[in-house]
Amino acid sequence: MKAKNFVVSGIVAGVVSFLLGWLLYGFIFKDIFPQDENMNLLFVVLGSMTYGFFASYIMNRFSIIKNPIIGIQIGATIGFFYSLSMNFFNYSNIPVNYETMAIDILIAIATGACVGTSIAFVNGKLK
């Protein structure tokens, strides 16, 4: 694994994850996912960056992904499984809202696909 690819694509992927989360959860689906006034933005940024580096690690450790189509597929898969596991944990002690769960999973798949594409794009540009 090239450290430069991991770090640069991880940062770009984290920024993409944050911006998509801001757009999707903060504006488009804000009625479904209301924001708490006590939300800590630093933790949102750190979570987005962690997700970006996690996806970057997978896509750079096992094979340096440079093809955007492969990036979309791997990113969407990562987003699906990550979101599915988190929704199972989140709904473990509250009543299940299947519609909200499905929307959250679809958002995560779309975000993961964009994150995967950004990683593949950055890897394609780096030498």
The CB density around residue 87, as the number of other CB atoms within 10 Å, is: 19
Give tens-digit pLDDT for 28-67.
999 999 888 888 999 999 999 999 999 999 999 988 889 9
**Mean predicted lDDT score pLDDT of the chain:** 94
pLDDT at 62: 86
Q: Taking residues 14-38, report their average pLDDT.
A: 93
Residue 126, sorted as left (phi over 0), alpha (psi -120 to 50) or beta, turns out to be: beta
- pTM of the full predicted structure? 0.91
Report how far residue 19's alpha carbon sits from residue 99's, in angstroms, rounded to the nearest whole number.
24
Angle between helices 68-90 and 98-125 (to 10 degrees): 150
pLDDT at residue 127 greater than cutoff 90: no
CB 72 within 8 A of CB 46: no
Question: Shortest CA distance to 35 belongs to which of 84, 27, 108, 43?
Answer: 27
Residue indicated by tokens 């990562």: 78
Report how far residue 86's alpha carbon sits from residue 56's, in angstroms, rounded to the nearest whole number.
19
pLDDT at residue 110 greater than cutoff 90: yes
CB 52 within 8 A of CB 13: yes
